[in-house]
Amino acid sequence: MDQDIKKEKNKRRENKDPVLELSNVKKTIRKKGIIKGIDLSVYAGEVFGFLGPNGAGKTTTLRMIVGLIRMTEGEIKIGGYSVKKDFVKAMENVGCIIENPEMYDYLSGWENLKVLASMERGITKDRIKEMVSLVGLEKRIDDKVYTYSLGMKQRLGIAQALMKRPKLLILDEPTNGLDPSGISEFRHLIRSLAEKENLGVLVSSHILGEMEMLTDRVAIIRQGSIVKVTSVDEIIKEKGITYRLADPLKAKSLIETEFNGQVQIRDDEELVAFVKEEDVPAINQRLFSKGIPLYYVAKNQKSLEDLFLELTAGDEIV
Ligand SMILES: Nc1ncnc2c1ncn2[C@@H]1O[C@H](COP(=O)(O)OP(=O)(O)OP(=O)(O)O)[C@@H](O)[C@H]1O
């Protein structure tokens, strides 16, 4: 992500109240701790990922946020309103798709939105049009919903969820069943919604690559507890530098003695060097002057998947 946008987002986070705030949220079912005291905050304009293996407690937490099940202990605030004390106001500030979005297949997309608008206060025809354009459904909005692809249904579901202008959008496993181009379109849609509508978006998923590209920050949940909250940028830390070259043995000795680096030889043409990034040009020059042909140099990055595996080691991972 662009550095300026990142700084801007951090500034926004520092200056603003969260659109969603969980404090010490617990859920006990038949004396078993399912959720063991979760704290987290989501801010306007950010896409926040909720990641965890099967059975970690993602859906239970999302269902507590939208009031489908009661929390045993703790506090949840949406747009500043307590889900316990100000339920209706809290719910006015959240749009969600937790299971499949509810819609009438035999009506058109437009008719579906009209039906919903008639049930809510203050939704104008202009707002419906605005939502249709925001989710990119203009061309097909008059077609019956049963002719829609899964991705189009999802767009309509998002339009429904956002009609009342909530501050927070919650999506549970939203890319399930989408093909790669659908996933990519979805990613662009969510990012642009977060920016244009200044929405906080909470997305749950176990699809790590997707989350890496979609979210600004992630919370990793394991056995009912959050084990880490971090920005995606922080995760993608250096994991050494890969060199493909003619003589790894000779290169290893040079890098270790002259640049105080650690080197692991991978095969007869590849090594990974743990050196300072600013030393790389000098290393390359020295390899050249020692007559070691260099084919390729690349910075290795730690992915969300690496981190997820480290933190959830031993759990079932899908
Ligand atoms: N009503 C219930 N009674 C007993 N156990 C429950 C109940 N609801 C959830 N659980 C248990 O709580 C744990 C968390 O479930 P949850 O569905 O929140 O996980 P998840 O992270 O959403 O997993 P998945 O990705 O598989 O949906 C699981 O072990 C589940 O079996």
pLDDT in tens, 217-227: 999 898 899 98
CA–centroid distance, residue 290 to ligand 1 (Å) = 60
Question: Which residue's CA is minimally distant from atom 2 of ligand 1?
Answer: 29
CA–centroid distance, residue 248 to ligand 1 (Å) = 50
pLDDT band per the 50, 70, 90 thresholds, residue 228: confident
Half-sphere exposure of 282 (CA within 13 A, CB side): 11
- What pLDDT was estimated at residue 105? 93
pLDDT band per the 50, 70, 90 thresholds, residue 232: confident
- First-last CA distance in the chain: 27
241 lines ligand 1 (CB under 6 A): no
CA 41 to CA 16: how far, in whole Å? 11
pLDDT band per the 50, 70, 90 thresholds, residue 4: low
pLDDT band per the 50, 70, 90 thresholds, residue 208: confident
Cβ-contact 276, 258 below 8 angstroms:
no
Q: Would the pLDDT of 118 be above 90?
A: no
- Between 152 and 53, name the one with better pLDDT: 152
Strand partners, 22: 40, 76
Which uninterrupted H or E stretch holds 65?
A: helix 58-65
pLDDT band per the 50, 70, 90 thresholds, residue 173: confident
- Between 303 and 22, name the one with better pLDDT: 22
CA 12 to CA 2: how far, in whole Å? 16
- What pLDDT was estimated at residue 237? 55
Q: What is the average per-residue pLDDT within 162-180?
A: 86
Amino acid at the residue 290: K
34 lines ligand 1 (CB under 6 A): yes
Question: Which residue's CA is minimally distant from atom 4 of ligand 1?
Answer: 29
205 lines ligand 1 (CB under 6 A): no
For residue range 132-142, what is the model confidence (pLDDT) as tens digits? 998 999 999 99
Q: Is residue 90 classed as helix, strand or coil in its secondary structure?
A: helix
Residue % of the chain over a pLDDT of 90:
55
pLDDT band per the 50, 70, 90 thresholds, residue 48: very high
The closest alpha carbon to 36, from 222, 311, 224, belongs to 224
CA–centroid distance, residue 57 to ligand 1 (Å) = 5
Q: What is the average per-residue pLDDT within 213-234?
A: 86
Residue % of the chain over a pLDDT of 70:
89
Question: What average pLDDT does the chain have?
Answer: 87
- What pLDDT was estimated at residue 317? 43
Residues found in the chain: 318
CA 47 to CA 96: how far, in whole Å? 14
